[in-house]
């Protein structure tokens, strides 16, 4: 165990610290090699005399860092002559791209620990920002301490010792200021045994506790020994130490520890400070000047310094809220390069060749003919947006957002007709077989009477059937294919694929989206009947999960967005109630009444089978109980993910046809299932579900004219977040509001309940907190790519793009840009 509050030196790493030989000892590189050293690392460094370091005086040298155990290091000047410099005079200037292992105090072993945190380079390290700050600027007098507060105390060590209790050894140190004394305790503190000597000055930081007798103490304080009070000129030494101290007498940055606590905040303070000092005095600013001006950005190096080591006078509140000029600079920069990448991608997509579909009167009539109802204003608007994309020669990349039940399907069919009437084929993909089938049935109902040929291609089809369908697609007989991932995974060739529609996009994940787009490109090209090898199909992705704007700007930033913000007419708002499950009797009675009135109901459980640890009610068991005991006179069905696909289909179909009154299920019914006369959704253990999930589930009801009810039953303890989720569900049915809260509660990585591949993991930005900066970054990215012009030179644009590519490659590796 390593001492908390103490820095950690890796013995191996300490050895790795390079010693510098005096000039006279080495004449040429050969000499050094002859000493027996092995070349470990070769790099260009800047030599900066220590005293000038801050002013930025430097000379470029070439350095060989030799086998570390031999402790050799030699610098060469530009002519290749070795130049030896005394340690005091050389400051190794690290390039941002240098591996962290060359930072003093790190080394190969600790570098590995850091890499688990995503810290690989010096640049990563200096962007490892404090997650909070401690105000240790004004140390406190012991007499003024109050229980419960966090305080910094600078005092003199009086005595210390280890005593053992039955539970653990406790280390006690008494520090004093004049006559007042303060007891400090460290539990399991054996490691501190020889740490303190009477008379030393120490800085202590921790929470003030009160023991049973009312005496004030510090428990587990962080500390730093500042100097020995008995030394010659005691005040002087202590003061100097204090001045240079990174621990007290200032606003101190607190970092998240790493390596299971081995690399402490204190350790990070030291190495980050070292790395900052070793950065080149002038970091080139990759952000173009005009953008810097628009946002009053401070220079990058200054921002890095000030974010780690705030100047006296910096607002403490701004620091805590990541709102200082330094924070804004770093956050904006990160967001800017993400948005620049996305903007570039949008532009490049626009520059590619797609199909310019005709939207003539014939096509309009064809669309009118299939409409089973009057579209809402919102549906009309988004169709216009989609149609106008489709008319353009560049391939459409559009995201259609619309809350559950808002009527996206018909819009998708309308878009399909535009493509088909132009002689192209359309692929519609759904995330599950059930949904694919549902789309297939409605497509046949709506499109086949008008003479369109629709096929279904899913994984569970017989091989012969699949082969048949693939042949129809390759020959162009089938105009609309509806399927699941099977469309992605199998070798499907199209005669003339013009439009790809992806429903409930978030289920596919982002990477699949990219795969899909790529596939079309390839397949279209390979298709024997195709004469347009380089033409890309239009892509329309649809999602019922409202995506908060911040995510839309990042995760989907390369897409244009359309929103259906209106429900079809005749819907009555869903009544949502929260109730504890000890009142389930009332709920079941209500459910009976609804069924007697001709309606249908869902009862949803968080798990299929119970298990001892969670004690959650489970679908299997409750199905038995509900069907045998509670509703013996009703038809109850069971649906969960482990059923055979055939059985799943059968159950779904029976429920859809009204042959089952109640469907007991897990979240498999979450997405897209459409049973218009289902009016009750009972969710047991509602406290266990995520917000997005609850919202999706509730979207299964209220799809017809009858009033619908969502009952959120809680069983057991509800966490604080759980309370907020349930509250939100009762309060609003606005999907966007719910999505924003979900994002806030779970963070972008976990949004939608599953980890989203492709959500950029930001170093310093926070999508919830920094939304305004994100909007600004998007605007500025567009400004930059609109250049060159009077405001911005080609050179600046190139530099920004170069920087963006390097970053993008590193952070999002798989995603291609440009
Ligand atoms: P989602 O956006 O969740 O996919 P759907 O497309 O499944 O929604 O539509 C939900 C229900 O609303 C369907 O039964 C559909 O037929 C119906 N619907 C859609 N648009 C309209 C409209 N303009 N007028 C009446 N009913 C509509
Ligand atoms: Mg749908």
Task: Tell me, in angstroms, the distance from the centre of ligand 2 to residue 626's CA.
Answer: 30
Identity of the highest mean pLDDT range in 4-13, 382-391, 504-513, 744-753: 382-391
CA dihedral over 216, 219, 222, 224, signed as positive or negative: positive
Task: Tell me, in angstroms, the distance from the centre of ligand 1 to residue 407's CA.
Answer: 3
**Residue 699 CA: which ligand 1 atom is closest?**
3
Rounded to 5°, angle at Cα 354 from 351 and 356: 110
- From the list 384, 610, 416, the residue with the least C-alpha distance to 503 is 416
Whether 565 is in the pocket of ligand 1, judged by its Cβ within 6 Å, is no
- From the list 110, 41, 96, the residue with the least C-alpha distance to 73 is 41
More confident residue, 739 or 450: 450
Q: What does the alpha-carbon distance between residue 541 and residue 551 come to, in Å, rounded to a whole number?
A: 15
Contact (Cβ atoms closer than 8 angstroms) between residue 273 and residue 246: yes
Q: Specify the residue with its C-alpha closest to ligand 1, atom 15.
A: 407
Q: Please compute the mean of the pLDDT values over residues 699-713 and round it to a whole number.
A: 89
More confident residue, 122 or 645: 122
- From the list 75, 88, 204, the residue with the least C-alpha distance to 139 is 204
Whether 308 is in the pocket of ligand 1, judged by its Cβ within 6 Å, is no
**Residue 373 CA: which ligand 1 atom is closest?**
24
Whether 405 is in the pocket of ligand 1, judged by its Cβ within 6 Å, is yes
Whether 404 is in the pocket of ligand 1, judged by its Cβ within 6 Å, is yes
Q: Could you tell me the pLDDT band of residue 505, with boundaries at 50, 70 and 90? A: low
Whether 408 is in the pocket of ligand 1, judged by its Cβ within 6 Å, is yes
**Residue 376 CA: which ligand 1 atom is closest?**
23
Q: What does the alpha-carbon distance between residue 700 and residue 684 come to, in Å, rounded to a whole number?
A: 16
| Residue-level pLDDT at 81 | 52
Residue found by looking up tokens 């909007």 in the block: 775
On the question of pLDDT at 156 being above 50, the answer is yes
State pTM to two decimals.
0.66
Whether 442 is in the pocket of ligand 1, judged by its Cβ within 6 Å, is no
Whether 187 is in the pocket of ligand 1, judged by its Cβ within 6 Å, is no
Task: Tell me, in angstroms, the distance from the centre of ligand 2 to residue 590's CA.
Answer: 29
Task: Tell me, in angstroms, the distance from the centre of ligand 1 to residue 373's CA.
Answer: 9
Question: Per-residue pLDDT tens for 95-139?
Answer: 777 788 878 788 888 999 998 888 988 888 999 999 888 777 777
56-70, 257-271, 790-804: least confidently modelled range: 56-70
Task: Tell me, in angstroms, the distance from the centre of ligand 1 to residue 544's CA.
Answer: 12
Q: DSSP 3-state assignment of 586? A: helix
Ligand nearest to the CA of 435: 2
Q: Please compute the mean of the pLDDT values over residues 312-327 and round it to a whole number.
A: 89
- From the list 353, 390, 407, 338, the residue with the least C-alpha distance to 764 is 338
Whether 505 is in the pocket of ligand 1, judged by its Cβ within 6 Å, is no
Residue found by looking up tokens 């303190």 in the block: 196
Question: Per-residue pLDDT tens for 15-46?
Answer: 333 333 322 333 333 333 333 333 333 333 33
Q: Specify the residue with its C-alpha closest to ligand 1, atom 17.
A: 407
- Let me know how long the chain is: 818
Contact (Cβ atoms closer than 8 angstroms) between residue 715 and residue 701: no
Task: Tell me, in angstroms, the distance from the centre of ligand 2 to residue 360's CA.
Answer: 28
Q: How far apart are the first and last CA of the chain?
A: 49
CA dihedral over 728, 132, 4, 230, signed as positive or negative: negative
Q: Tokens in use for 339?
A: 């948005």
| Residue-level pLDDT at 182 | 94
Task: Tell me, in angstroms, the distance from the centre of ligand 2 to residue 443's CA.
Answer: 12
Q: What does the alpha-carbon distance between residue 286 and residue 306 come to, in Å, rounded to a whole number?
A: 19
More confident residue, 318 or 768: 318
Task: Tell me, in angstroms, the distance from the centre of ligand 1 to residue 194's CA.
Answer: 75
Whether 379 is in the pocket of ligand 1, judged by its Cβ within 6 Å, is yes
């Amino acid at each position: 165990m390593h001492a908390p509050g103490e820095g950690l030196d890796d013995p191996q790493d300490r050895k790795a610290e390079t010693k510098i030989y005096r000039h006279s000892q080495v004449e040429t590189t050969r000499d050094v090699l002859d000493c027996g050293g092995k070349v470990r690392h070769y790099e260009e460094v800047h030599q900066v005399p220590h005293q000038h370091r801050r002013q930025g005086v430097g000379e470029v040298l070439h350095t060989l860092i030799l086998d570390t155990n031999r402790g050799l290091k030699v610098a060469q000047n530009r002519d290749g002559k070795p130049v030896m410099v005394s340690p005091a005079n050389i400051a190794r200037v690290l390039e941002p791209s240098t591996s962290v292992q060359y930072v003093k105090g790190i080394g190969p072993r600790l570098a590995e620990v850091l890499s688990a945190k995503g810290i690989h380079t010096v640049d990563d390290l200096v962007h490892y920002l404090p997650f909070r700050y401690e105000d240790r600027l004004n140390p406190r007098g012991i007499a003024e301490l109050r229980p419960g507060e966090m305080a910094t105390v600078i005092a003199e060590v009086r005595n210390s010792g280890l005593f053992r209790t039955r539970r653990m050894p406790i280390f006690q140190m008494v520090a004093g200021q004049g006559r007042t004394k303060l007891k400090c305790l460290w539990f399991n503190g054996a490691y501190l045994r020889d740490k303190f000597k009477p008379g030393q000055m120490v800085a202590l930081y921790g929470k003030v506790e009160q023991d049973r007798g009312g005496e004030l103490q510090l428990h587990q304080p962080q500390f730093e020994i500042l100097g020995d009070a008995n030394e010659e000129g005691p005040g002087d030494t202590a003061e100097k130490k204090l001045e240079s101290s990174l621990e007290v007498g200032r606003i101190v940055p607190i970092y998240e520890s790493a390596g299971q606590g081995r690399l402490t905040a204190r350790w990070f303070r030291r190495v980050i400070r070292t790395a900052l000092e070793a950065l080149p005095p002038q970091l080139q600013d990759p952000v173009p000047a005009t953008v810097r001006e628009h946002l009053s950005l401070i220079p990058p190096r200054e921002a890095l310094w000030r974010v780690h080591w705030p100047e006296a006078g910096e607002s403490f509140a701004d620091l805590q809220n990541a709102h200082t000029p330094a924070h804004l600079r770093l956050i904006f920069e990160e967001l800017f390069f993400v948005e620049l990448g996305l903007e570039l991608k949008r532009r490049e997509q626009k520059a590619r060749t797609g199909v310019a579909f005709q939207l003539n009167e014939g096509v309009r009539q064809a669309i009118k003919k299939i409409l089973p109802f009057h579209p809402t204003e919102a549906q009309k608007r988004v169709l216009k947006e989609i149609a106008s994309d489709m008319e353009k020669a560049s391939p459409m990349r559009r995201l259609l957002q619309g809350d559950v039940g808002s009527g996206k399907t018909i819009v998708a069919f309308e878009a399909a007709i535009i493509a088909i009437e132009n002689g192209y084929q359309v692929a519609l993909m759904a995330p599950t077989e059930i949904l694919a089938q549902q789309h297939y049935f409605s497509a046949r109902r709506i499109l086949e009477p008008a003479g369109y040929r629709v096929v279904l291609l899913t994984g569970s089809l017989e091989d012969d059937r699949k082969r048949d369908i693939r042949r129809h697609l390759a020959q162009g007989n089938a105009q609309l294919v509806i399927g699941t991932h099977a469309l992605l995974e199998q070798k499907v060739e199209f005669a003339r694929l013009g439009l790809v529609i992806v429903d409930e996009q978030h289920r596919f994940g982002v990477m699949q989206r990219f795969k899909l787009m790529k596939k079309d490109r390839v397949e279209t090209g390979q298709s024997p009947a195709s004469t347009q090898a380089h033409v890309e199909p239009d892509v329309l992705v649809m999602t019922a999960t409202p995506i908060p704007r911040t995510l839309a700007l990042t995760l989907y930033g390369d897409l244009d967005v359309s929103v259906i913000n209106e429900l079809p007419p005749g819907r009555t708002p869903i009544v949502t109630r929260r109730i504890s499950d000890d009142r389930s009797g009332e709920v079941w009675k209500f459910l009976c009444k609804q069924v007697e009135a001709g309606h249908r109901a869902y009862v949803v459980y968080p798990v299929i089978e119970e298990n001892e640890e969670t004690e959650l009610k489970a679908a299997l068991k409750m199905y038995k109980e509900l069907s045998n005991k509670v509703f013996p006179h009703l038809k109850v069905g069971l649906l969960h993910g482990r059923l055979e696909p055939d059985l799943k289909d059968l159950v779904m179909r029976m429920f859809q046809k009204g042959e089952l009154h109640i469907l007991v299920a897990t979240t498999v019914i979450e997405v897209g299932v459409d049973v218009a006369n289902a009016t009750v959704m009972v969710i047991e253990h509602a406290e266990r579900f995520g917000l997005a999930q609850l919202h999706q589930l509730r979207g299964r009801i209220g799809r017809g004219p009858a009033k619908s009810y969502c009952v959120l039953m809680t069983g057991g303890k509800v966490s604080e977040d759980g309370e907020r989720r349930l509250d939100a569900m009762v309060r609003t049915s606005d999907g966007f509001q719910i999505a924003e809260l979900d994002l806030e509660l779970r963070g972008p990585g976990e949004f939608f309940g599953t980890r989203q591949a492709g959500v950029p993991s930001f170093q310093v930005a926070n999508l919830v907190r920094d939304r305004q900066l994100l909007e600004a970054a998007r605007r500025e990215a567009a400004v930059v790519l609109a250049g060159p012009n009077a405001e911005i030179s080609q050179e600046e644009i190139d530099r920004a793009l170069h920087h963006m590519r390097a970053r993008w490659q590193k952070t999002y590796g798989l995603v291609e840009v440009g």
